[in-house]
Amino acid sequence: MRVTVNRKAHFNAAHRLCRKDWSDETNAEIFGKCSNPKFHGHNYELIVSVTGNIDPKTGFVMDMKLLKELIQTEIEEPFDHKNLNEEVPEFYDLNPTAENIVVVIWNKLRAKIDKKHDLAVTLYETPRNFVTFNGAK
């Protein structure tokens, strides 16, 4: 039986939407107030979803304590209370839209989670806007 286990986490960060290879005018035209050069920020809320068979020994798909610690090490510590554009290397040359952030998070976690498990990540940028990625191409 394949069950999905989900764990919520969160981090607070500053960002702006911008491409370094565009002028400020073009960034403002395309991204509006989200491109404010002085930055704005969000409480990002995260749901990490791991799908796999229930281990008949433990009754777990995976130990949620380990998943919680993995999210802390891989996502919360490097992202929390940071400026995504200027302090998180993945976004030095990548526009930190919610879509790009959720793919970066998925890739970081995918590298650390057993390949027999499927992975999906949901990222709330605000309580009204959120994105989901499950590795689909």
> Which residues does 71 contact at the CB level (< 8 Å), separation at least 6?
7, 9, 46, 48, 109
We find the least distance from the C-beta atom of residue 112 to its own copies, in angstroms, to be: 19
Tokens of 85: 């554009």
Active site residues: 34, 81, 125
Size of the site for its own copies (CB under 8 A): 61
We find the least distance from the C-beta atom of residue 124 to its own copies, in angstroms, to be: 9
CA nearest 15: which of 93, 104, 86?
86
Encoded one letter per residue, x for contact with its own copies by CB under 8 A and - for no contact, window 108-137 reads ------------------xxxxxxxx-xxx
Q: Does 70 bind its own copies (CB under 8 A)?
A: no
